[in-house]
A and B are shown apart, each in its own frame.
Chain A
Amino acid sequence: EAGVAQSPRYKIIEKRQSVAFWCNPISGHATLYWYQQILGQGPKLLIQFQNNGVVDDSQLPKDRFSAERLKGVDSTLKIQPAKLEDSAVYLCASSGWTSGGGDTQYFGPGTRLTVL
């Protein structure tokens, strides 16, 4: 079974620029999550999708972050404009009933963002 795919793996941008991350979840997984992991900390949930609908985006800084999951499969997370404090690893995860039950989340390798 293919895992969660993310791209790019690394991105370096200047502050005030925009950036987008892409995620392709495990086939058949209805739930998709985006996390932000700052160095030395655990992942923090930004947004959760169920199919193509948003379940929870309470911790997403909506003035600069946006995310969508068109057709309930792939998802993109965008930051515009980026700030220095956005430097982090952005992790995508998915969960579903195809394996492991709905509680287990499967993570992609992450995108490491550096904002200069």
Chain B
Amino acid sequence: TQLLEQSPQFLSIQEGENLTVYCNSSSVFSSLQWYRQEPGEGPVLLVTVVTGGEVKKLKRLTFQFGDARKDSSLHITAAQPGDTGLYLCAGAEKGGSEKLVFGKGTKLTVNP
């Protein structure tokens, strides 16, 4: 079973700052997804990346899939308090089970 490692585990920043969180593995993924979860709720999908080197933008969020499809990053520009939450990456191993395996997440707090 592949392991998805996310870093940092916790991040507390001021409104307006930029940040990047990372998701790394030794396994190759057929696709990788990023979810955001708020307390007491289920995760909600932000983006799916499929192609190595792919970059996707969602307003102030930029997602990148590594060339080798083993890692991904999420960059947030000019963070806002509404960005506060647990950011989870999840992947399905290429050639393996189709279940999604999640990382432990990065808990982001954006202070006003």
Is A bound to B?
A: no
Interface of B with A (CB < 8 Å)? none
